[in-house]
């Protein structure tokens, strides 16, 4: 009677995703090991105006927050729409993956994912213009993330110059 | 595994039918299956898995319906269970459990058992009735969400179940809600040979047994609330019991995966015959408001309700709004702990829906004193909502008439702001310190500057600068926090950078108390910042937990005593203390295990002299480490005990003062302040019952003695009655 069926232990929201940090110093195996033990979450799709206080208020609902590092534009040193949230225990981070991921912060659906751990330098966007890569190439207009994507902005100003 | 039982229970009658059909084909299979289940039941009870054991017994009882188990032997097992109620000198919660198990099986098997053994069953029910009449129910008020009996009485769970079974019996055990596939196979099943359950003696009481806690059944809806469609089964109908059991079971199974959980709830079989949305909302709030604490983390329920709204956008949001309205209307009698959860849930929920709400509907809260529950609730909701957004947003979303309830703009209050403060004794030093910090002066340089600050507590200059100087603390901390006010990170960085100075300034208990006072003075408009700073200061040992408790209960903070942030800080502080003790205990355990391993290694390693010497050295080191850790554990436990004593002492002082004042002035004691205070005392007991259990002796001898006012003593007695 004490059969354990894998289907019964379904906890899919806390599974490690397919994403791997290309700048990670170490091999895939090491990265995955860290992801599976990590207490740190990457949080994406934040508004540029979302504050550390707002992030803290939301994520503290899952447990005591050890620290929050707001992601910055490498050039401007202003918030560029992501952050890291580190908990004291993994269990608390798991709850954030289950209950905060995919809900709203500052009116935006935010996304959380396991992170191998904060290291100095990782708080900066890696896009060419200084922000996040995703903001380089996107075509939509997002007023909370600087308007149009950087490439689209350049195209627009080129067009404007040409038509004028 | 618990999860296995949950999955089976949600389709109980399907599995029992299957076993029934297998038994009809193969008698030996049935016999072995039943024997295996009995073995499992014994194991489960031995390991304190009482909730799982309930599912096992229900499974067994439904096997009677499938002709696998003979009814008389099931009755005999129930009789053995009920005979436990004759035991003496055992916790009441043990007796409760055995009664609960029997009663909760009757919706499934009552009819069959009565048909076969009505005399025995009547005797059984009569014994149960006798037990229920004589059992002690002191614990009930502590577990009720509302203190009012209207519109729905908050019944003790066994009383409610008994009423439901009584009604079922009156209805001649006709129960129409449970799906019973075995009925379709009756012609096959009735040919099967049945097995007798072996005589089952319930395991005796063990001192470390942990029986389930008593509960109160949460009801907020009745048949008048669902405007159209199917009628809600009455509170004493067995259908209500079965629906609630099943919905709780779904949540218990799928809480980790909110989309699945919501889908499973909404696809409840037989949903067309009941107002399912109402049942779901009621069960969810029932869990969220459960005392002492919800079965799962609060935020789970918020995210689950959001998923449900997404899946049923045309109907569920309306039920949820109706529920919110009803909860608001009954705030006057709602338990304070439950109100805390209601506040947190509602603000978080709103933040996912652009804070859309018809605040004007609640304009009645503006017509009463601000310390009354309704305006207090709205005020706290707006404060929490602001934390998830920003001040102007809150100003924009409420009508202008609500301005008195809008939270303060969370800005820093700097005493030494500018020249207008130049007459203050600390002003010149503040300017100097500020410049020094900006110019990256060393700790020594800053301490030298601070030495010049006069001490208002002393007449002459004979002090070496080591005595407690409140002005020195005030000037330094205000200036530092002002420079770091930009964000949490800036402030944490400041506390870290000047940790040494802060530790020096707060060596004495008075110093610790004063630093907390200063933090409050500067950040009184930003309770969230106060909370995170206090947390950081405890973790970096600038203040200790007792200092935080003394500060919260101090006269200076009396005017904030009923605000939610005070209690969040207190409970967070207690939790940190508890985790600290657990951490060191774990370290001690690990060191002891290591020593044992090392000793075994040495014993088994043979005669190698070098190895033996190294091993001895290692063991010596470990033994030293263990001694040190032992001291650390004792010290931490002592600190923890002291913290609770401080808190309880303060409560007793405040409450006694209030009660005496009211008595001498012939005034009603039941002010909003009193309700808040007494329920906050209850909350400390309930939220930390595991730790407090260790100190019952001390509490009873030192604090909760017979001389205490009976109102205060009642709280203690209710807590004892929970027999947690």
Distance between alpha carbon B621 and the CA centroid of its chain, in Å? 41
DSSP state, B672? H
The number of residues making up chain A comes to 164
Mean model confidence pLDDT for chain A: 92
Nearest CB partner across the interface for B37, out of A1, A12, A53: A1
pLDDT band at B1 (very low <50, low <70, confident <90, very high): low
Give residue-wise pLDDT tens across range B47-62: 888 988 999 999 999 9
Residues B489, A70: C-beta atoms closer than 8 Å: yes
B550 and B570 Cβ atoms separated by less than 8 Å: no
Rounded to whole angstroms, how far apart are CA atoms A92 and A132? 27
The model's pLDDT over A12-43, given as tens digits with 9 standing for 90+, comes to: 999 999 999 999 999 999 999 999 999 999 99
Q: Which domain holds residue A94?
A: 11-126
Tens of pLDDT, residue by residue over B259-309, are 999 999 999 988 889 999 999 999 999 999 999 999 999 999 999 999 999
Give the strand order in the sheet containing A79-87.
A65-72, A79-87, A40-44, A111-115
CB pair distance less than 8 Å for B1 and A70: no
- Are B676 and B340 a contacting pair, CB within 8 Å? no
B450 has pLDDT over 70:
yes
Q: Residue A2: pLDDT above 90?
A: no
Report the distance separating Cα B46 and Cα B367, nearest Å: 58
**Interface contacts A/B by beta carbons within 8 Å:** 90
pLDDT at residue A153 in the model: 86
d(CA A68, CA A125): 16
pLDDT band at B523 (very low <50, low <70, confident <90, very high): very high
Gap between the Cα atoms of B297 and B294, Å rounded:
7
Assigned domain for A54 exists: yes
Confidence of residue B700 (pLDDT cuts 50, 70, 90): very high
Residue B637: predicted pLDDT: 95
Lowest mean pLDDT among B119-123, B312-316, B695-699: B695-699
**Helix (H, G, I), strand (E, B), or coil: what is residue B46?**
helix
- Residues of chain A neighbouring B258 (CB-CB closer than 8 A): 13, 98-99
Q: Quick check: A85 contacting B, CB < 8 Å? A: no
Percent of chain B beyond pLDDT 70? 98
Kindly determine whether residue B306 and residue A62, on different chains, have CB atoms separated by under 8 Å.
no
Has residue B572 got a pLDDT over 60?
A: yes
**With contacts defined as CB-CB under 8 Å, which chain A residues touch B572?**
64
Q: Do the chains contact at B256 and A10, CB–CB below 8 Å? A: yes
Residue B597 — very low, low, confident or very high, per pLDDT cuts 50/70/90?
Answer: confident
Confidence class for position B226, pLDDT limits 50, 70, 90 = confident
* Segment B169-186 mean pLDDT: 92
Helix B527-539 and helix A52-59, axial crossing angle in degrees, nearest 10: 70
Per-residue pLDDT, A164? 59
* B209 pLDDT tier (thresholds 50, 70, 90): confident
Confidence of residue A8 (pLDDT cuts 50, 70, 90): low
Pick from A67-76, B16-25, B190-199 the range whose average pLDDT is largest.
Answer: A67-76
CB within 8 Å: A13 and B302: no
Within-domain flag for A134: no
Residue A1 lies in a domain: no
The total number of structural domains that make up chain A: 1
Residue of chain B with shortest Cα separation from A102: B303
Q: What is the mean pLDDT of chain B?
A: 93
User: Is A141 a domain residue?
Assistant: no
Q: Which residues of B lie closer than 8 Å to A, measured between beta carbons?
A: 1, 3-4, 7, 36-37, 39-40, 256-258, 260, 297-300, 302-303, 306, 344, 348, 351-352, 354, 384, 387-390, 487-489, 492, 528-529, 532, 535, 572, 575
* Closest residue in chain A to residue B256, using alpha carbons only: A11
- pLDDT tens digits along B611-640: 778 778 888 888 999 999 999 999 999 999
Minimal CA separation from A106 to chain B, in Å: 6
Q: Average pLDDT in the B525-546 region?
A: 98
* pLDDT reported for residue A1: 37
- The model's pLDDT over A79-110, given as tens digits with 9 standing for 90+, comes to 999 999 999 999 999 999 999 999 999 999 99
User: Which residues have CB under 8 Å from B199's CB, separation 6+?
Assistant: B76, B80
Question: Rounded to 5 degrees, what are φ and ψ at B195?
Answer: -105, 150
Does residue A79 lie within any of the structural domains?
A: yes
Instruction: Look at residue A154 and tell me whether its pLDDT is greater than 90.
Output: no
Residue A58, domain CATH: 3.30.70.330
Q: Do A70 and B492 touch (CB under 8 A)?
A: no
**Partners of A40 in the β-ladder:** A86, A115
* Residue B569 clears pLDDT 90, i.e. is over it: yes
pLDDT band at B331 (very low <50, low <70, confident <90, very high): very high
pLDDT above 90 for B341:
yes
Is A76 inside any structural domain? yes
Q: How many residues does chain B have?
A: 724
Amino acid B462: pLDDT: 55
- Please report which confidence band the pLDDT of residue A3 belongs to, taking 50, 70 and 90 as the band edges: very low
CA dihedral defined by B564, B567, B573, B578, rounded to 10 degrees? -120
Confirm whether A99 is domain-assigned.
yes
CB A103 within 8 A of CB A59: no
Overall average pLDDT of the B93-108 stretch: 96
A132 found inside a domain: no
- Mean pLDDT, residues B586-597 taken together: 92
Contact B374/B332 with Cβ under 8 angstroms? yes
Region B709-717: what's the mean pLDDT? 95
| Nearest Cβ partner for A99 among B258, B488, B529 | B258
In percent, how much of chain A has pLDDT > 70? 94
User: Residue holding tokens 């949001």?
Assistant: B317
Can you give the pLDDT at residue A16? 95
Residue range A73-78: average pLDDT? 96
CB spacing of B3 vs A8 below 8 angstroms: yes
ipTM: 0.94
* pLDDT bucket at A5, cuts 50 / 70 / 90: very low
User: What is the per-residue pLDDT for B460?
Assistant: 56
- Residue of chain A with shortest Cα separation from B34: A1
Q: pLDDT value at position B605? A: 72
Asked whether residue B328 carries a pLDDT value surpassing 80, the answer given is yes
Candidates A15, A60, A105, A118, partner chain B, best to mutate (most B CBs within 10 A) = A60
Domains of chain B: 1-190 (1.25.40.180), 235-405 (1.25.40.180), 419-457+465-543 (1.25.40.180), 570-721 (1.25.40.180)
Question: Are the Cβ atoms of B487 and A106 closer than 8 angstroms?
Answer: no
Q: How far apart are the first and last CA of chain B?
A: 24
C-beta of residue B46 within 8 angstroms of C-beta of residue B207: no
- Percentage of residues in chain B having pLDDT higher than 90: 85
Q: What is the value of pTM for the model shown?
A: 0.94
Non-local CB neighbours of B90 within 8 Å, separated by 6+ positions: B205
Radius of gyration over every alpha carbon of chain A, rounded to an integer in angstroms? 18
């Amino acid at each position: 009677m004490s059969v354990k069926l894998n289907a019964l232990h379904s906890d899919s929201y806390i599974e490690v995703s397919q994403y791997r940090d290309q700048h990670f110093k170490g091999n895939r195996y090491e990265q995955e090991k860290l992801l599976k033990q990590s207490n740190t979450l990457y949080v994406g799709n934040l508004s540029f105006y979302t504050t550390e206080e707002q992030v803290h208020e939301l994520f503290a609902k899952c447990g005591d927050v050890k620290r929050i590092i707001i992601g910055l534009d490498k050039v401007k040193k202003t918030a560029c729409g992501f952050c890291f949230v580190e908990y004291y225990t993994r269990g608390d981070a798991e709850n954030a993956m289950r209950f905060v991921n995919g809900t709203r912060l500052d009116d935006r659906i935010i996304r959380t994912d396991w992170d191998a751990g904060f290291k100095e330098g990782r708080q900066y966007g890696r896009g060419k213009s200084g922000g996040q890569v995703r903001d380089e190439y996107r075509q939509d207009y997002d007023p909370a993330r600087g308007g149009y994507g950087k490439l689209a902005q350049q195209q627009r100003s080129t067009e404007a110059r040409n038509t004028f | 595994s618990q999860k296995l039982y949950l999955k089976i229970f949600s389709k109980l009658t399907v599995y029992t039918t299957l076993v029934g059909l297998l038994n009809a084909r193969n008698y030996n299979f049935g016999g072995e299956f039943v024997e295996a289940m009995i073995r499992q039941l014994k194991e489960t009870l031995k390991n304190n898995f009482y909730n799982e054991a309930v599912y096992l017994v229900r499974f067994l009882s439904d096997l009677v319906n499938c002709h696998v188990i003979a009814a008389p032997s099931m009755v005999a097992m129930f009789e053995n269970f009920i005979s436990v109620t004759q035991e003496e000198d055992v916790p009441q919660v043990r007796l409760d459990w055995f009664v609960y198990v029997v009663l909760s099986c009757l919706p499934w098997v009552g009819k069959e058992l009565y048909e076969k053994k009505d005399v025995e069953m009547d005797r059984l029910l009569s014994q149960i009735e006798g037990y229920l009449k004589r059992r002690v129910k002191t614990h009930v008020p502590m577990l009720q969400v509302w203190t009012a009996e209207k519109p729905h009485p908050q019944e003790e769970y066994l009383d409610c179940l008994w009423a439901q079974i009584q009604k079922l019996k009156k209805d001649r055990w006709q129960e129409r809600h449970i799906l019973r596939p075995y009925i379709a196979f009756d012609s096959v099943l009735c040919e099967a040979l049945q097995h007798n359950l072996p005589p089952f003696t319930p395991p005796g009481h063990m001192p470390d047994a942990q029986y389930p806690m008593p509960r109160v059944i949460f009801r907020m809806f009745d048949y008048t609330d669902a405007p159209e469609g199917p009628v809600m089964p009455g509170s004493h109908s067995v259908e209500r019991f079965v629906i609630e059991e099943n919905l709780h079971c779904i949540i218990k199974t799928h809480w980790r995966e909110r989309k699945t959980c919501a889908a499973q709830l909404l696809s409840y079989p037989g949903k067309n015959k009941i107002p399912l949305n109402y049942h779901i909302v009621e069960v969810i709030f029932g869990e969220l408001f459960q005392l002492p604490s919800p079965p799962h983390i609060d935020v789970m329920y918020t995210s689950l309700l959001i998923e449900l709204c997404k899946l049923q956008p045309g109907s569920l949001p309306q039920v949820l709004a109706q529920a919110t309205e009803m909860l608001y209307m009954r705030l006057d009698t709602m338990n304070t702990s439950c109100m805390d959860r209601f506040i947190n849930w509602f603000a978080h929920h709103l933040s996912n829906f652009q804070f859309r709400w018809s605040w004007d509907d609640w304009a009645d809260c503006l017509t009463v004193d601000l310390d009354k529950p309704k305006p207090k609730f709205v005020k706290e909701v707006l404060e929490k909502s602001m934390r998830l957004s920003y001040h102007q947003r809150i100003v924009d979303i409420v009508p202008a008439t609500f301005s008195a309830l809008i939270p303060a703009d969370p800005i820093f209050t700097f005493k030494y702001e500018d020249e207008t403060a130049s007459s203050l004794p600390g002003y010149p030093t503040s300017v100097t310190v500020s410049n020094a910090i900006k110019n990256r002066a060393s700790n020594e340089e800053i301490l030298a500057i601070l030495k010049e600050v006069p001490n208002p507590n002393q007449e002459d200059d004979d002090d070496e600068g080591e005595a407690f100087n409140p002005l020195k603390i005030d000037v330094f901390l205000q200036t530092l926090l002002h420079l770091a006010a930009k964000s949490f990170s800036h402030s944490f960085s400041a506390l870290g950078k000047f940790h040494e100075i802060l530790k020096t300034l707060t060596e004495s208990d008075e110093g610790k108390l004063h630093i907390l006072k200063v933090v409050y003075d500067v950040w009184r408009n930003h309770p969230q910042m106060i909370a995170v700073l206090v947390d950081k200061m405890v973790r970096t040992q600038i203040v200790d937990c007792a200092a935080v408790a003394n500060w919260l209960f101090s006269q200076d903070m009396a005017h904030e005593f009923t605000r939610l942030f005070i209690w969040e800080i207190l409970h967070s502080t207690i939790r940190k203390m508890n985790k600290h003790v657990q951490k060191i205990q774990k370290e001690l355990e690990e060191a002891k295990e290591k020593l044992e391993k090392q000793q075994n290694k040495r014993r088994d390693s043979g005669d190698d002299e070098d190895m033996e010497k190294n091993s001895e050295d290692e063991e010596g080191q470990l033994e030293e480490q263990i001694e040190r850790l032992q001291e650390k554990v004792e010290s931490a436990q002592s600190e923890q005990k002291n913290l609770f004593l401080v808190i309880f002492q303060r409560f007793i002082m405040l409450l006694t003062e209030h009660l005496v004042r009211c008595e001498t002035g012939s005034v009603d004691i039941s002010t909003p302040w009193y309700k808040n205070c007494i329920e906050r005392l209850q909350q400390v007991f309930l939220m930390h019952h595991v730790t407090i259990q260790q100190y019952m002796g001390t509490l009873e001898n030192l604090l909760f003695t017979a001389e205490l006012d009976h109102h205060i003593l009642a709280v203690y007695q209710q807590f004892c009655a929970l027999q947690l």
